[in-house]
Amino acid sequence: MKLVRPVAALVGVLLFAVASGARSQAIPEPAASAPAPAAASTRDPEGADEQRVQLLVEASRLIAAGHAEGALAGFIDKVIAEFEAKYAADPRKIYSARTRTESLLYLLEAANDQLDRREALVLSQTWVTAYYLRGYALVELKRLPEAQQALERAAALAPRNAQVLGELGQLALRQRNWTKAQGLFERAEAAAQQFAPEATKVRELGLALRGQGYVAVEEKRYDDARKFYLRCLEINPKDAFAQAQLRFVESAKATPKAQ
């Protein structure tokens, strides 16, 4: 059965997300009365980062065209190198968010963390996008351990980013680790519902549901798989993968088991 990783669709979503994210989505500074024992900052000190965004857009196009190696060397790694030079030694908790709601969550979690009292800094989505793209490109190149590392770095920057969690789920599928994949896709589903940008929510939610359906099929839980694929079609009736998988599930259920 084919893995649920449609390159064109994912890169298309990414192009929109990066192009619309040239400016930070961080929330305004918290009011003085807000409970924040660990001082929390939301301002990206670098300000608008249109040049980095353009590098990532070009990288996305190269990946979509099948030139992942060029995307890495010519664009993605340059952005990541800049990020590491600026923030690798920064003592603060560094996050990278796509929406104001996501930014607020990270700040609140940091403020209420009784074990880690470091200040939090929420940057624009450019940084998590760079690591996500690196992981995506490395998967295309079948350099899976390096892809895992890049995507885990992305998840550390944005633990509620459904796109990143979904890609980690795809890696778990490749490893045939169904339990891990299920957990990641469940997290991706929750993140898509609560924190994904409105323009990408349907696609990211669909990816999470298709991933759970895929796991259910592999575990021969066909009734569960059917429910997941029907949910996909509820949010996007034109979801061709869900349509095909639903036909597969119905066929599998109708096939008598070998004695």
Q: What is the pLDDT of residue 5?
A: 55
Same domain, 146 and 240: no
Question: Could you tell me the pTM of the whole model?
Answer: 0.84
What is the residue-averaged pLDDT of the chain? 85
Q: What is the pLDDT of residue 19?
A: 52
Model confidence at 52: pLDDT above 70: yes
**Distance of CA 33 to CAs 29, 36, 37, Å?**
11, 9, 11
Tell me the chain's radius of gyration from C-alpha atoms: 19
Same domain, 116 and 197: no
Same domain, 139 and 171: no
Answer with the residue of higher pLDDT: 113 or 69. Answer: 69
Model confidence at 92: pLDDT above 70: yes
Length of the chain measured in residues: 259
Same domain, 66 and 137: yes
Answer with the residue of higher pLDDT: 239 or 257. Answer: 239
Q: What is the pLDDT of residue 254?
A: 82
Q: What is the pLDDT of residue 20?
A: 55
Same domain, 131 and 240: no
pLDDT > 70: percent of the chain = 80
Q: What is the pLDDT of residue 253?
A: 84
Per-residue pLDDT of 113-157, as tens digits, reads 888 889 999 999 999 999 999 999 999 999 999 999 999 999 999
Same domain, 211 and 147: no
Per-residue pLDDT of 180-202, as tens digits, reads 999 999 999 999 999 999 999 99
**Burial (CB count within 10 angstroms: exposed 0-12, middle 13-18, buried 19+), residue 127:** buried
The domain boundary, picked from 159, 191, 221, lies at 159
* pLDDT range class, residue 3, cuts 50, 70, 90: low
Same domain, 168 and 194: yes
Distance CA 168, CA 209 (A): 14
pLDDT > 90: percent of the chain = 73
Structure tokens that stand for 43 in this block: 């301002």
Distance CA 167, CA 135 (A): 8
The domain boundary, picked from 159, 178, 200, lies at 159
Same domain, 181 and 200: yes
**Burial (CB count within 10 angstroms: exposed 0-12, middle 13-18, buried 19+), residue 47:** exposed
Same domain, 145 and 28: yes
The Cα angle at residue 13 between residues 1 and 16, in degrees rounded to 5? 170
How large is the average pLDDT for residues 192-219? 95
- Compute the Cα dihedral for 203, 146, 151, 63 and give only its sign: negative
Q: How many domains does the chain have?
A: 2
Q: What is the pLDDT of residue 257?
A: 65
Answer with the residue of higher pLDDT: 206 or 28. Answer: 206
Task: Residue 258: give its domain's CATH number.
Answer: 1.25.40.10
The domain boundary, picked from 114, 133, 159, lies at 159
* 3-state SS assignment for residue 160: coil
The range of the structural domain enclosing residue 14 comes to: 1-159
Distance CA 94, CA 179 (A): 29
How large is the average pLDDT for residues 72-88? 95
Same domain, 139 and 113: yes
Same domain, 72 and 189: no
Same domain, 216 and 134: no
Longest Cα–Cα distance of the chain, Å, equals 70
- The separation between the first and the last C-alpha atoms of the chain, rounded to the nearest angstrom, is 24
The Cα angle at residue 206 between residues 223 and 246, in degrees rounded to 5? 35
Per-residue pLDDT of 10-44, as tens digits, reads 455 555 555 554 444 443 333 222 233 334 444 44
